[in-house]
Structure 1
Amino acid sequence: TRLVFDHDVIVIEDLAVKNMVRNRNLDKAISGSGWGTFRRMPEYKAAKHGRHLIVIGRWYPSSKTCSACGHLLAELSLSTRHWTCPGCRTLHGRDVNAAKNILAAGLAVSACGGDVRHSGSARVRSPGKQEPRPVKVGLPRL
């Protein structure tokens, strides 16, 4: 409730909680923490109080993308909790870096009304401008 009252825009990642519970090492911790409930509660509370909840897709490479320069790692194992960007040499904590990227992607969606998907390049691009083209006076030539 505090998140909804304190913020106009809330950005979360769409996690597959059912799939994550299949991991035998994490199943009890995930089940006991109520991630599914946390996903549902901001949804209805944001709608009730006129706030915007933006959900970023689970395949968005938030952990593998450098939040400083946009460099995308080819691989990042789940056991790697900290990594240094080969592009700008910034040291990242996996979860904090992912949170920064999820926020940036959500704000891009909020500002431009687009969808944030990874293009496959080393840089993540936000949606293009949504401005209409200028109207020309007269009839168009055929």
Structure 2
Amino acid sequence: MLQKSLTTTNNQKGSVRLEGNKVKLPKVGWVKLCLHRPLMENSTIKTVTISRTPSGKFYISILVEYENQILPIMPKKFLGLDFAMHGLYVASDEDDANYPSFLRKTEKRLAQAQRKLSKRQKGSHNREKQRLRVAVLHEKIANQRRDFLHKKARDLVGKYDAIGIEDISVKAMAKRKKGGKFSFGKSV
């Protein structure tokens, strides 16, 4: 996946502030903003991180500080999750999660777009347009995965009070290993 570019700034003496649907950033000024979640009352902005995706979209992440009282609860419904090769997980109390293979479904289109990109002349406008198409495909796959995982996690958190998860390094399983050991790659 392609890298994002990041810039972080601290809020010093009101250099970063929100008013309506705009945010004031140092050295940039007022920028339009689509705020998807309102800030808590009596919260102070600590830092702002601006990121740009390879497809050209900008995102602002705002870190705020506020006091919140968390009420203690006694868990009544428990769930245990274990890693599964054939799906997302194996659960102790419910059906296993079937993981839709988003990458495998769009692999052919992605390979075709990357092949076209490799044949374009470096520095040309057509190469930049094709690079953007490849970036959009990668972003779409990442967004599909993220959306599926968020919905699944939200569903589990809504049903259960406590969830136990197997402690396993999935990144290490996905890496290619030398010496004849197993490598699961894209499947993981």
Q: When the two structures are superposed, what TM-score results if normalisation uses the length of structure 2?
A: 0.23
Larger RCO, structures 1/2 (Cα 8 Å, 6+ apart): 1
Comparing both structures, which one devotes a greater share of its residues to strand? 2
Q: When the two structures are superposed, what TM-score results if normalisation uses the length of structure 1?
A: 0.28
